[in-house]
Structures are given as structure tokens and as C-alpha cells.
Structure 1
């Protein structure tokens, strides 16, 4: 199959042919940030979009206060202004591909709205998606140079659902290459940066979506989570991030890391927006057998169940063994304990608990990524009708089929990720593969059963802890903080991250995570909403201010 030119504006760190120059606006009062002023081209009547979420955008559109076309222009202008180097900032670098048809799609949706036709709850709302979701009109690269021209023939299930609901996929975001890491660096997209401090990483692997949403490049976004890849960057970027129950949301048409652990989920500025997106995303998909579990259990009204009194009468366990005690970890632990106190003041009973050692041991042996990556990626690469670089496919036999071995042979992968996927490939060829894989799957069942029993014994509605024990590290820091990502993906239970404040040492965002029983997303979202409304920790990152200030 020949290489192709994708029908999109393609942008990678290696392919930027122009710099964005931020100049001084002469004779016009402009907002100032760290020694630079915004250029005159941004001083227009385009709507202010900083911190607008889905609910805000829908309200503005419904009231005819703006148009989808004006919103898309505003978001594209923000990408143009803040994506690359500006002033004394290195730039967010969150976007791999911008949808060149976004303005035309917005104009079409505006025309439909004027004619009285509304496609669905996201009609005209600009959204970003992680670049491991298949899109028929843009390449799906998983952040890898080796897949820069990989063009699916079909949209992923979740992209289909977004578009059916009226969403505009404005751009596809960078990720830690092949979703195999937590700092969001890729050979194709480069290093994404946290808008709260651009010298720091945004978490990962969905760090591009997190940084884009936090920077108001779109109203909300989609990520994927294999072991913290939604919740960790949500914590680092002061966002709400939901890892749904395994099987509640389809992963069909998503470049996989581990089909057993992978889920798709929302990344938003508010709990309400997460609920609105989940309304669209949840439910059975015949293309994903795991979603059979969602039959009769998926709601279409998560947003309607939100309550400011949801914590009253709830019983929540603070997992003290998941709190760090080092000097770097203590500020995060202090914030989680403060969150527990707020839960109490909202009417919840919070008890301190440690996971039993048998459960800890089962979780430690329940990871399936190393066993499934090669199998699952090769299946995704072989999807019908996909187009890709024939030269890469010919590197190893069979010459006419693109596989993981071709990608490894190409060497067009970030070095640290290349080392990791080589290890995954070696595990897949190991003589003990079958026995080791079976043991991991058995440990998952044991862990899920023990966790369910722990909920029952302690009469719990949720457990709480930090997704990661310390705040975002510097870009080049290889000493990553310890995380608590595995409880949810190794059992299939849902988990929700909600902003909980800023650390006393780094002044970076911290999130609190709530873990619930399978298919209790309504309860988790409602408890998170209660806490969010009582605290309001969401704030705008200073490094990406409004381009269109209100007239004085």
C-alpha cells in the first residue's frame, strides 16, 4: 500500500516550517504576559474562550451568543498563538494534526442550527482527541514517525459517536508514543509541556489532550487510560479525568496498548462536562466485545444525576498506604487529607484504610500490557482499508503487511519507547508467555474479587487517594514520582480525578482520585461534583491568557 498525503494540516516537531512571531501591538491596549504583548491580529470580536467548557459553549450556542464558526476560529487562533515558541515560553506543543476542515464543518453545523436541526448534545462544540483514535479525515499516528502516514478508512467508535452528537474534531493531540509512558514525548510530536509551568511535563500518556484542554485549545477532549493515562495528566493539568468501568466505553478503532486494560474516557474542565461526554461515549458496541458488560448498565443521563449534596451520607475510605511521606510527596498528601476533611464537611464519613497485603500482591502481578501489546497492535495495524508507508511495511516479513516488527526495525520511535516496545516484543516470544499471561489474568480476577469484598466489608461508596504522589516534574527529570495508577485498570473498577488544589512547594495542580465499584459512574461523578462545587479549585494557567480580552 502506498504512502499518502493526509487531508489535514500535519504538524510535528520535525516539520515546523514557520515560527509564530509575537510582536508588539502599537497604539492598542493589549494584555501583557511575561514581557510580550499580543499582536494586533488577535484583537478582534472573536469570542473569549478561556475556561469555557462544553456546558458553557452549548449555552452560548443555544442563546445565539456566538457561532460554532467563531468558536473554532478562536480555538485555532489560540493554537496558533501558544502551540509554538512565544515570548519567553517554549510553547505547549500539544497538537499533532489540526483538522483543516474544521471551519467548514462549523459553518455547516451553524447552518443546520439556523434551520432548526440539532444533531445531538454536542452540536457545534469543538473537541480534541488523542492521536490514537482512528479518524477517517486525519492520520492516526500514535505519536510515531513510523506511522506518520497511517490513514484509517473508518472513524473509531468514539469519534463516530462524537460526530453523530454534533461535535467538531478540531485537532488530534500528542501522546507519549504508543501510549507507553507518562511524560508525553513522541518521535512525531516532540515534548508536550504543562501550561501551568512550561518547564514541566504534562503527565501522560494523554498529556497532549490534557495540555490542550487546560490551554483552551478546545472545550474538552478524549484520552485513553491503560494505567493512569487519563487521570495522571488530568491531575497535572487541573482537569477532571474519568477512567470508566472496563467495558462501559468502546475502544474499537483505538491504537491499543493492552486491550484488557485500555479504556476511552473524557478529559474536561468540569465534572458536568465529563458527565456530558460520558452520556455520548457510554454503551454497547458490537465492535468491542468487552462492552457486552455495559448492556443494561450504561446510563444516557449521567449529567442529570449530579448533585451538590451527593456526599451527604456517603462512606469513603482514605487509602493511607497510597499517600507519600517524602519531602517531595508530603505537599500532595497534605492536599488529599484536606480533601478528605472537605468531604467530611459536605456530610461524608471518611475512614482511614490500608489495602490488605493479599490485594497488593494480586495487583502487583495483574499487569497485562507486556503480554498484549504486540498482539493487539498488530491487529489494529491490519484493519481493513488502512493506508500506510509501504517502505516501513517492507522492512520485515511479510513485506506487504505492517507490523510491530517493522516499526521496531524502522527505528523511527523515541529511544526510551523503542527500548520498551522491544521488551514487549521479546515477552511475546518468550517460552513462558502462556503461563505468565495466564497468571496475570488470574491475578486480575483475584484483585477484583478482593477489592469488591473490601468495599462490602467496610460499607464503602468510594475510596480516595492521589493518582500520583508528587506534582509534575521538570521536562528532563527522569526520576518520576511514584503513582497509584494500577488499582483501577488492574481490576476494571472506575476512577475519577477531580482538581484538589495546588502544592505548597511547586505551586502545581494536584488531583484527588475517587475509586468506585463497577458501573457506579453516576455516583462517582455526583460525589466529585459535590466536592468540585464546594471548592472550585479550577483556575486558568497564567502562561496561556485570553487572546480576546473584554473591551474596557
Structure 2
């Protein structure tokens, strides 16, 4: 059983920590003369090449930190019992002068909707503790081929927030509630909650998240880290629990843009089992770290989408970021991308049809356990632990009753979504001769409340999510102790451009800071009602 495996893996970590005599505090340790919280992948790999640091030391430092800190954050669902063995294999390659590349020896945490042979994905559902995955997801094979150390699995919003009409982000029946490390009673946002919270708390160097609409960028923004949702087709979805093959992507999160760029370079590949990967242009960059342009802001034209409904504090941060960009050579003008109401009206009905189709297809690849969406609905009615935060499974039930993909109304809706989402970005870029669009990623984190559910609004994620266009978020500032990110997105395959612009914002604002694990905050204690939007 998965729960037993989780307890055993954490017991092993606790034993390791005890034998190494680590203090039980929040202090960020240094390894090889580098701060664990501030070090980038290039700095770490230089240390390993020079013999000043080993992957075993790096992986051990993260394991110790998980044992010390994760009791507050609850971001790590399971530790990989083979992590130290994988690190030792990396050390042997470095000693032989033959590392596999810039990710060799770097610890990576996977969202628990990503299959691995040893730790099959649960999507946070106790129903998925029964049965086993077919093997490693394609993206995991890519990480292993690059020498990365699979550190473990991150908690997530159960079924990537596609079970309940009003879910609580960061909660799953398998893992419980993930907390925002900046203020522990605040929400981490989106379905990739554990991935982002773990990165913010320095529990891993890189984490993998997934997004259908907002679930890479909102958790990254709300936890104060960098996240990149790739162009649809850059990264394979084979072996990842789906919502919709029309919108699903997987992407990296880290504390630094350079680390996200390096991880994306490893993840990108054509996969015969995922037809969308065949659409990648032949001239698409393969090394996004090398493609980062330090002069990206010089002469750039940026459209600023303000979204005042997120509040004056968020608007202040976005305007301050825009002013700093102008000071470094960019032209920034205000824009409002069109068709947002139409996208909001059509998206969920389309996803309901696609979820039933795609989840049934995924379940058919597993050995044992539930085979259909109907099986999952039936299971949730029998397991009280699946109802400890919220009992509702309204989206499951709506998806089960949704029209099939052959339905003319569904087909027209998906075609309309594809057209209007692309036009919302393409027409805005063309009208104002823009390189990219800047927008707020997230409001300050709301309090976590199972009875109320999420209290959120994130319209900035929707155009790029539906269109399949790249979207990067980077820390931009704070409202009290709560992080706010800014989003940068552009047309399809412009991943290098948006990453370069994000790296420039990171370099000139220095906005990220380590969390302080405050138990609560009086900021926004009487939160106004906000129109609900989902982050899947």
C-alpha cells in the first residue's frame, strides 16, 4: 500500500537525519560553500565537476531538510528510497569525468500525477492506492537519462482540482493539506501545490508540476518561485494523469529562471506516444539556458494586462515591475486581451467531455485498480477519508454525464476555444507590435478553509492555457508576507523569449525571498468575496 511505503520512506529519512545530528530548525544550510536556498544548478554542477561537492551530499541535504521542515508545509508525499543510490551513481559519473549533462546529480521532486515504476501516481486519490502504473512516465525517463536524482513525490490537489465544484487547493485524500510556507494557514494554490511549496521551502532544487489552466503558474506565483508552462507539445504527457489532452502540459518549477530553463531543456523531446510532440518546429531551441538573452529587455515591447480586480496591492506590484522594465530599455503599454468572457464560458464544459475520455484511457494503462471514471465516483462514496475536507465530487459527476467527443456541440465549443484563445494573444501582440504580455499571476494567498473552498481568481492563466502558448511566472513582490508573481506569455513556441524576459525581471527586481513559516497573518483576515476561477 502506498501509505505504508510513505511511512517507511520517511522513517528512513528520519533515521538518516538522526545519524547526521541535524538541528531541528529552519536554518538554510550550506554545502560545498553554497547556500542550499540560493545556489543555482550551474553553481552546483560546477562544484560537482570540481570535486568540491557531491550529489550524495546535495541529496542528503535535501532529505535532511524534508525531515526538518516538511512537517510544517506537508508538501512531500513520499521520498524515493533509491534517491541516495541514484546520487551515488551520479557521483561515480563525475569521478569518471563523464557526467550526463547539467542536470546530472540534481534532485527533482515529481508531482504525484506523474508515474514512476517504483512510486506509481495516485493523483492524491486513495482509490489509486490500488493498482500500479505501467512504468516511468516519458518525462521521468528523460530526467533519468540526464542523470537527475528523483527525490520523491509532491502532494497535489486531488485529481488536479477536477473532482469538486468548490475544492480546497493543496488537499488530497492521500496527502492531506499542503500549506503555504510563507504563512502556514494560507493556501498554496492550484493543483501543483506541493511542487511549488516544496521549491519555496528549499526541499528540492527543481519540481515538476502540471497545468490545464493555472496549476503551474498560480502555485509558483503564490509560493514565490519561478514556474514555466511550456508550449503545448514541448513536453510529453505520456504517463501523467490527465484532465484534457487539448490543454494539459507539464513544466518545471525552481527558485531561479536558469534552473527552470535547464530543466525544460531536459524535458523537451518528441514522444511517439504523444502526437502533440510531433508539432514542435525543427528550429525550436533545445538549450533554453543558452538561449537566455541578457539584453532581452532592451528594445522589447511589452503589453501590460493590469487586472485591477486582483486589488490595488497587486496592481502596485505590476506597475512597479513595468516601471523597472522601462528603466532597463523596454516599452510597456497597457492592453486588455479580448474574448475573455467567451473563453470563461466555454472552457469548463469542454473539459468535462475531455476528462471522461482521457481519464478512462489513462486508467486502462494501469494494472489493477479502478478502470473508469464511474469506478472512481463509486469508490469516493465508500471511503470516508475521501470526504474529510470536502465530500463533493460534482465535476466527476458532470464529466460522467457529459456528451461524448463526437457531439457536434462539444466539437464546436472546442474549436471556438482554440480560435478565440489564440486570437486573444495573437491579435494583441500584432495590434501593438508586442514581444510579450505582462500580467499579475496571483492575488495574495487566501486562507485555507475546507468549508468555504478556494477563494480565488486568476484570469491571467486562461488565454495561454487554452491556446497552448508558453507562460512563465517570476516573483515580483509581496503584499505583507505573501508573494505575488508576474506572468509573461507570448505566442506558441516562444518559450525562449518568455524565459529570457522572466530572467531579466528576476535579475532587476531581486524579488524572491525565503519563507518564514509564519503561523498566520492578519493581512486580509476579512477576505472579500471573489468570483471563483479554477486552477487545474
Query: Shorter-normalised TM-score: what interval?
Result: 0.7 to 0.9
Moved more, 471-480 or 219-228: 471-480
Paired position in structure 1 for 2:191: 205
Distance 1:149 1:63 in 2: 45
Paired position in structure 2 for 1:345: 327
1:453 aligns with 2:422: no
Preserved CA contact (<8 Å) 1:47 1:66: no
Distance 1:29 1:486 in 2: 44
Preserved CA contact (<8 Å) 2:169 2:454: no
Distance 2:222 2:337 in 1: 25
Paired position in structure 1 for 2:43: 56
1:65 corresponds, among 52, 71, 88, to 52
Taking structure 1 as reference, are residues 262 and 456 closer, same or farther at Cα in structure 2, changes over 3 Å only? same
Residues 119-154 of structure 1: CA deviation (Å, up to 9, x unaligned): 232111111010111111212100110102442132
1:526 aligns with 2:500: yes
Paired position in structure 1 for 2:402: 427
1:489 aligns with 2:465: yes
| Deviation at residue 418 of structure 1 after TM alignment | 2.4
Superposition pairs of residues 136-535 of structure 1, within 5 angstroms:
136-180=117-161, 183-320=169-306, 322-324=307-309, 329-356=311-338, 358=339, 360-362=341-343, 364-367=345-348, 368-383=350-365, 386-389=366-369, 393=370, 402-411=371-380, 412=383, 413-414=386-387, 415=390, 418-428=393-403, 433-468=407-442, 470-476=443-449, 478=453, 480-484=455-459, 485-503=461-479, 506-535=480-509
| Deviation at residue 282 of structure 1 after TM alignment | 1.6
Residues 510-537 of structure 1: CA deviation (Å, up to 9, x unaligned): 0000111111111111111111111111
1:133 aligns with 2:109: no
Preserved CA contact (<8 Å) 2:3 2:174: no
Paired position in structure 1 for 2:513: 539
Distance 2:63 2:11 in 1: 18
Distance 1:289 1:248 in 2: 11
1:120 corresponds, among 84, 101, 125, to 101
| Deviation at residue 47 of structure 1 after TM alignment | 7.7
Taking structure 1 as reference, are residues 362 and 196 closer, same or farther at Cα in structure 2, changes over 3 Å only? closer
1:102 aligns with 2:83: yes
Residues 265-295 of structure 1: CA deviation (Å, up to 9, x unaligned): 1101111111111111123221111112114
Preserved CA contact (<8 Å) 1:214 1:541: yes
Preserved CA contact (<8 Å) 2:10 2:79: no
Paired position in structure 2 for 1:399: none
Paired position in structure 2 for 1:549: none
| Deviation at residue 8 of structure 1 after TM alignment | 8.9
| Deviation at residue 43 of structure 1 after TM alignment | 12
Distance 1:540 1:43 in 2: 15
Q: Which has the larger radius of gyration?
A: 1
Taking structure 1 as reference, are residues 289 and 345 closer, same or farther at Cα in structure 2, changes over 3 Å only? same
Taking structure 1 as reference, are residues 382 and 297 closer, same or farther at Cα in structure 2, changes over 3 Å only? farther
| Deviation at residue 449 of structure 1 after TM alignment | 3.1
- TM-score with structure 2 length normalisation? 0.86
Preserved CA contact (<8 Å) 1:239 1:499: yes
- TM-score with structure 1 length normalisation? 0.84
| Deviation at residue 48 of structure 1 after TM alignment | 5.3
More helix per residue: 2
Residues 366-386 of structure 1: CA deviation (Å, up to 9, x unaligned): 443212111101111111xx3
Paired position in structure 1 for 2:69: 82
| Deviation at residue 339 of structure 1 after TM alignment | 0.8
Gaps of 5+ in 1: 85-90, 394-401, 545-552
